[in-house]
Amino acid sequence: MEELIRDLKEQIIDALNLEEITPEDIEDNAPLFGDGLGLDSIDALELIVILDKYYGIKLANPAQGKEIFKSVAAIAEYVAKNRTK
Amino acid sequence: MISVLSTNILSPLGASTEQNYRAVKEGRSLLEVHQDERGVPGSFVASLFSDEQIDALNVEGFTRFESLVIRSVQDALSKTDIDPASDRLIFILSTTKADIEELAAVESEDKNYSSPGRAAGKVAEYFGFVNTPVVVCNACISGVSAQMTALRLMNQGLYDHAVVCGADCQSSFVISGFSSFKALSPEPCRPFDIDRMGLNIGEAAATIVFSAKTSEGAWRLIQGSLTNDAYHVSAPSPSGEGSILAIKDALCGVDVNSLSCVSVHGTATMFNDQMESMAIQATGLSEVPLSTLKGYYGHTMGAAGVLECILTMCAVDEGLLPACRGFEEIGVSGKVDIVGESRPVSGESFLKMISGFGGCNGALIYSKGEISEKPAYKGGSATVSHHIFMDSKSVVLDGESLEVKGTGKEMLSQIYKSYIGDYPKFHKMDALGKVVCMASELLLRKENAAPDASRAVILFNNSSSIVADRAHIACICDMENYYPSPSTFLYTLPNIAAGEIAIRHGYKAETSLYILDRKDQKLMDAIVESSMRESSAGSVITGWVDCKAEDEFEVELSILNK
């Protein structure tokens, strides 16, 4: 799980162009939206692309993202259960 | 005001305005499921020209997009006796992506890609138009923007005639982009309906030939307005603020009870339709019948604003509004009167409204009867207060060279770190966005004044969004590695660069991007000056912002104050 969390953080930083952020800056359980990293609606859609590209998870309904994208730990949990690659 | 001399609509439903209006009246649509077509894996719903139609429309020596434009303009021009070679005629092309499908194809063969500006140039040469053609590239509102450009230039007495054509062809480029935004409905779209699931893509061309002379009984474009939400690049303000500003400005002096209908954008996305309902209620239009045509054509992008005005003229002429195809049960919270079934309508005028990515909004008033025009804005020439020149290795601010480190992309990063540093969105922008953002930031630091909410942003270039276009193609060209990215796609709309400035500084006037085949300073000055004279904008950031590659750009921006 630790490795998955580390990978996810790097993938998120890369896909969302979070230039000034390092994986260490992102806490596993900190909220990604709102106060946390301050991500917005396009970032949420980019997270859907990450799930598809690296883990073979297709999220048809962006509304599902609300729960899944709460924190990096929450994403990791979802990915571990649902990944196809 | 300017008057309509002739029109054409060229769509999968027909090759003339009359054929298209008849199809809509009969409730016909070609929104169909397409499976593994146009380079898109899987299925999507769209209204597309058939292969036979495409072959029949082809004009030898021209691309699919250029052929579509030529056929539409030709039909509209054939119904007039105007001289195409007159230097008092301007050709204005509204498109979001023009020939973009060609880009991927020619890259591998090292052939020249026909940019939107070049495509307009080729069409102009075909007809013998002598003036530099103008391409309006303002995402979904392009068709309304293009009509505003014609209105303003002609109100200033600069031209006798304008040929305004809106067109877009669909390919994997745009379909994959909207799909990554989760904006596409898997079924024919259902504007304003409780069960709406998004938009459908459509292709079409539509042309209006305008005359500066008004004649009795002819439809006239009376007035209009362009604004920005200054809220978000890809989501409309939930309250509809920018749309409300545009509608109020366009309605100035017009009795809303005299309107036959409101032709809304009505894309059938959750956010758009909800936002429009809020704007309609807030501007006192809840009792005016509301018409949307997306259920017949899908979203025809650059054509939409033109096509929908033409069909609304036909409907009001006949006194019968077509049903809002796809609508059954109201699914928006603002009070609106959707035309669920076709219904008789009286009156001789209508409001067209539209909104798009980059936060832009537009509204137009058309009439063929008596209508009072709003009082002219206090004009006066705008004067330059600050000026910046920036290319890939130098910056000159108000005539003084600014010391910079590095070149190109590196230089921009250094400028960001040295002068701004607290706007992480910078890192998310594409090359054009970064160049425009840094140049405008330096300019505004020099101005050092409180943000002017009535400021417009009007940009010009030649290369459109070529860097982002290539990046998006890289995401979708390999079927084994097909992952379209919403943020990459977003920046393939070059007007986003103008929208970013408005959002950062709270500018709520017009944001526009024009693509020119060649840098024509006189034409650029005329567009900006007519906008300043014909709108309530108090100032403008404007100039040339061309970015050919990440390390190859040239920007010249000024702040002009009224």
Average pLDDT for residues B232-248, to the nearest whole number?
A: 95
Q: What is the pLDDT of residues B304-318, one digit of tens each?
A: 999 999 999 999 999
Find, in chain B, the residue whose alpha carbon is nearest to that of A20: B424
Residue whose structure tokens are 């979904």: B140
Given this model, what pLDDT does residue B109 score?
61
To the nearest whole Å, the CA of B234 is away from the closest chain A CA by: 8
Does any CB of chain A come closer than 8 Å to the CB of residue B185? no
What ipTM does the predicted assembly reach?
0.91
In percent, how much of chain B has pLDDT > 70?
98
The owner of tokens 């058309």 is: B366
Adjacent-strand bridge partners of B366 = B221, B350
Q: Examine the pLDDT at B525 and tell me if it is beyond 80.
A: yes
Contact yes or no for B343/B324 (Cβ under 8 A): no
> Which site among B483, B496, B550 would you substitute to test the A interface, given the most A Cβ atoms closer than 10 Å to its Cβ?
B483
Residue B106: is its pLDDT beyond 80?
A: no
Spatial distance between the Cα atoms of B154 and B162, rounded to a whole number of angstroms: 8
Partner-chain contact A45 B486, CB within 8 Å = yes
User: With DSSP H G I counted as helix, E B as strand and the rest as coil, what are the percentages for chain A, rounded to 5?
Assistant: 60, 0, 40
In this prediction, residue A66 has a pLDDT band, given cuts at 50, 70 and 90, of confident
The 3 state secondary structure assigned to B404-431 is CCCCHHHHHHHHHHHHHCCCHHHHHCCH
> Between chain A and chain B, how many beta carbons pairs sit less than 8 Å apart?
41
Task: Tell whether the model's pLDDT for residue B110 goes beyond 60.
Answer: no
Q: Residues B525, B529, B530, B531: what is their CA dihedral angle, to the nearest 10 degrees?
A: 110
Determine the Cα–Cα distance for residues B562 and B530; give it in Å rounded to an integer.
12
Q: What is the model's pLDDT at position B108?
A: 60
Q: Smallest Cα–Cα separation from B145: which of B157, B134, B156? A: B134
pLDDT digits (tens, 9 = 90+) for B394-453: 999 999 999 999 999 999 999 999 999 889 899 999 999 999 999 999 999 999 999 999
Percentage of the residues of chain B whose pLDDT score is greater than 90: 92
Within 8 A of A61 by CB-CB distance, chain B residues are 182
Checking if the pLDDT of A62 tops 90, the result is: no
Q: With CA atoms as reference, report the closest residue to B303 among B168, B177, B119.
A: B168
What does the pLDDT look like over B111-120, one tens digit per residue? 667 789 999 9
Phi, psi of B421, deg, nearest 5? 75, -20
Specify the pLDDT at position A38.
Answer: 78
The predicted pLDDT at position B101 comes to: 86
Rounded to the nearest 10 degrees, what angle do helices B466-476 and B172-180 cross at?
80
Residue A36: its pLDDT value, please?
A: 72
A46 with B487: Cβ contact below 8 A: yes
- Cα angle for residues B192, B266, B281 (degrees, 5° grid): 70
Contact B462, B93 (CB under 8 A): no
Asked whether the predicted pLDDT for residue B28 surpasses 80, the reply is yes
C-alpha–C-alpha distance, residues B303 and A16, integer Å: 32
CA dist B34 and B184 (Å) reads 13
Q: What is the pLDDT of residue B112?
A: 67
CA angle B546, B439, B447 (to 5 degrees): 140
Q: How many helices (H) and strands (E) does chain A have?
A: 4, 0
Q: Given an 8 Å threshold on Cβ–Cβ distance, is B235 in contact with A41?
A: yes
B197-226 pLDDT per residue, tens: 999 999 999 999 999 998 888 999 999 999
Question: DSSP label at B132?
Answer: P
Return the higher-pLDDT residue of B140 and A65.
Answer: B140
- Average pLDDT across chain B, whole number: 95
pLDDT score at B420: 92
User: Which of B176, B182, B275 to substitute to test the interface with A, most A CBs within 10 Å?
Assistant: B182
**Spatial distance between the Cα atoms of B402 and B404, rounded to a whole number of angstroms:** 6
Residue B238 has pLDDT above 60, yes or no: yes
CA atoms within a 13 Å half-sphere pointing along the CA-CB vector of B74? 14
B151-169 residue pLDDT tens: 999 999 999 999 999 999 9
Residue in A19, A40, A45 closest to B181 by CB:
A45
pLDDT at B111: 63
Q: Does position B347 have pLDDT exceeding 80, yes or no? A: yes
Interface touch A45/B232, C-beta < 8 Å: no
pTM for the structure as a whole: 0.96
How far the first Cα of chain A sits from its last, in Å, is 15
CA atoms lying within 13 Å on the CB side of residue B291: 29
Q: Classify burial at B194, counting beta carbons within 10 Å of its beta carbon; exposed 0-12, middle 13-18, buried 19 or more.
A: exposed
Of A15, A20, A62, the CB nearest to B424: A20
Neighbours of B446 (CB within 10 A): 16
pLDDT above 60 (res B249): yes
Contact A59, A51 (CB under 8 A): yes
